[in-house]
Structure 1
Amino acid sequence: MEDVQGSVDTRQIPINRVGIKDIQHPITVLGKDGRRSASIATFSMSVSLPHDQKGTHMSRFIQMLNETETEISAKNFNKMLSSMVERLEAESGYIEMQFPYFIEKTAPVSGVKSLMDYQVNLVGQIEQGHIDATLEVTIPVKSLCPCSKKISEYGAHNQRSHITVGINCSSKLWLDELIKSVEAQASAELFAILKRPDEKYITERAYNNPKFVEDVVRDVADVFDQNDRILRYYVHAENFESIHNHSAFAVVEHDKSV
């Protein structure tokens, strides 16, 4: 049959990205302890298209997903990028995949175990054989306002916060390790299940560890600066304020090579 997509286009306009988006596919995420976690990722995949080619072969993206190793690691992700541009005969390509990642956590006093979910976004692009991949994770935590604590006779306003970090690494950095290092910089970490003794512990820990949104991003940045495996990063913290009808946020970005 005639390959219409492979025919010549005469408008002399190259396309930066063309592909598919929001397609779901099962994956397996490898944890630091060798644990394999099943998840479902939402993929967006695209390639460049030269000025003289009418269209790309959309079905090849889906075929590649069904044929590719579904265990997600930095090595496999880079392999997926290389395979995509080779299969679609493109000069550059882009893949973004979003998926929930679960960690079993133990409550600090009762010891009850529960699963916490974290949203992961893995973004990579390849151009002329060079791959640039960023791992982004959103980590929910608890923050307590130092100013409120200082000026109040008792109590202090506190809220749930999201810390979103994006990193580029020179070597392997496990998701569990990254999440744990970020959680430690908040007023307190969160758990899916807490008994009353745990609630007391978390409440008092946050009260004794107040932090502005500025403190949080600086503390996370300090941890990343000391990690030689992290080459480039950004830290975004957002406090969903409990006494205001707005959020407070702060951002730190750093490229260690500059």
Structure 2
Amino acid sequence: MDKIEFPKKQLPDKAERHKLFGSVEPGPRTKPSEKKEMADLQNTKKDFLFDLDSVGIANVKHPITIKSSIIPAEQTSIGTFSFSSTIDKSSKGTNMSRFTEQLAEYHHQGFVADFHTLKLFTKDLAKRLKQRDARIEVSFPWFYERRGPHSDLAGMNHADLTMSVEYDSIKGYTLGASLSSLVTTLCPCSKEISEYSAHNQRGNVKMSVSLDEHFDDRETDWKELLLEAAESNASARLHPVLKRPDEKMVTEQAYENPRFVEDMVRLVAADLYELPFVQKFRVECRNEESIHMHDAIASVTYDKLEEKAVAQG
């Protein structure tokens, strides 16, 4: 078979093509190129009218390492970061590059997403920014192994996590965390009124907690404990791998443990209340109803510190 020859365009070279589409020759350079000679507008000192609650950068994606007390013991993930600090009205702005500069330095040391690391990071960041305070928040998916209840076949589930640390040189540390996990819930009303069967749904349980500032997750894995609070109170857990004997067991377990959305948030709240390192919490549950077009929602918020203050008079 003869080779087919296609006509070939005679194109201008790349430099000429760039000119064709708008590129121009560099103009005269009149401003300094050395940092020490450049104007530093961000560090201008005047009365700029208002103190700012928060100045920084957000939506920074960066690799992280996650350590867990359950399999896998160590994994890599992608964290979405935000960094900020306050500035007073005498400062025009902050030094944005210092946030990512410090993140790069911590990455070279091996950035572990735990509260020990985040506390060190915020304290170092405040010093680098020459501010009294600094804040970091990072969100990421966390994967964990789940085995079928009968077959013992393993697969990977995941939950969505957020960690935050705020450092203040006077007030100390403020620690926060949230975990969002999917579960199965079976409707108690449907079970009660039906001759057989009952409708179920997938529930999304989100727990947001404030932690004691001395909490150390190198000793206690908060991720596992919050995950267990959600899953152990549901009608059934979700499984990535289910053979027929597994499916039978999970289906029957759900039928034996019916849960309204209201039941879920109260039961999870009870588990969080019993965790000594949790000071405040909010539990939300959203059920994607299988026989309705709408979702069912419920939430509960509780402050153990407020309870303690009331008890002390």
Q: What is the CA distance between 1:209 and its match in structure 2?
A: 0.6
Residue 256 of structure 1 corresponds to 304
The 3-state SS of whatever aligns with 1:5 is helix
The whole-number CA distance in structure 2 between the counterparts of 1:231 and 1:17 is 24
Unaligned runs of 5+ in 2: 1-37, 307-313
The whole-number CA distance in structure 2 between the counterparts of 1:48 and 1:229 is 27
The 3-state SS of whatever aligns with 2:190 is helix
1:195 and 2:232 matched = no
Residue 144 of structure 2 corresponds to 103
- CA deviations 1:144-201 (Å, max 9, x no partner) are 0000110111111110001101223333441123212321000001012212221221
Which of 147, 153, 156 lines up with 2:189 in the alignment?
A: 147
Residue 173 of structure 2 corresponds to 131
**Is this contact kept in 2: 1:142–1:189, CA < 8 A?**
yes
Unaligned runs of 5+ in 1: none
Which of 28, 34, 43 lines up with 1:6 in the alignment?
A: 43
Q: How does 1:211-222 map to 2 (within 5 A)?
A: 211-222=259-270
Residue 205 of structure 1 corresponds to 253
Q: How does 1:1-258 map to 2 (within 5 A)?
A: 1-32=38-69, 35-68=73-106, 69=109, 70-127=111-168, 128-170=170-212, 171=215, 172=217, 173-174=220-221, 175-258=223-306
Identity %: 35
Q: What is the CA distance between 1:84 and its match in structure 2?
A: 1.5
Q: Which moved more, 1:127-136 or 1:197-206?
A: 127-136
Name the count of aligned residue pairs: 258
More strand by share: 1
**Is this contact kept in 2: 1:157–1:243, CA < 8 A?**
yes
- CA deviations 1:30-71 (Å, max 9, x no partner) are 112692211110001111112111111111100111111501
Q: What is the CA distance between 1:129 and its match in structure 2?
A: 4.4
- CA deviations 1:105-154 (Å, max 9, x no partner) are 11111111001011001122233342111110001000000001101111
The whole-number CA distance in structure 2 between the counterparts of 1:72 and 1:250 is 30
Q: Which moved more, 1:207-216 or 1:173-182?
A: 173-182
The whole-number CA distance in structure 2 between the counterparts of 1:181 and 1:163 is 10
Bigger radius of gyration among the two? 2
Greater RCO, CA 8 A, separation 6+: 1
In structure 2, relative to structure 1, the CA distance for the partners of 1:201 and 1:8 (3 Å cut) is same
The whole-number CA distance in structure 2 between the counterparts of 1:10 and 1:73 is 39
More helix by share: 2
The whole-number CA distance in structure 2 between the counterparts of 1:245 and 1:93 is 44
Residue 25 of structure 2 corresponds to none
The whole-number CA distance in structure 2 between the counterparts of 1:54 and 1:218 is 47
Partner AA of 2:281 in structure 1: Y
TM-score where L is the length of structure 2: 0.79
The whole-number CA distance in structure 2 between the counterparts of 1:2 and 1:26 is 34
Q: Which moved more, 1:78-87 or 1:7-16?
A: 7-16
The whole-number CA distance in structure 1 between the counterparts of 2:187 and 2:299 is 18
**Is this contact kept in 1: 2:179–2:207, CA < 8 A?**
yes
Partner AA of 1:35 in structure 2: A
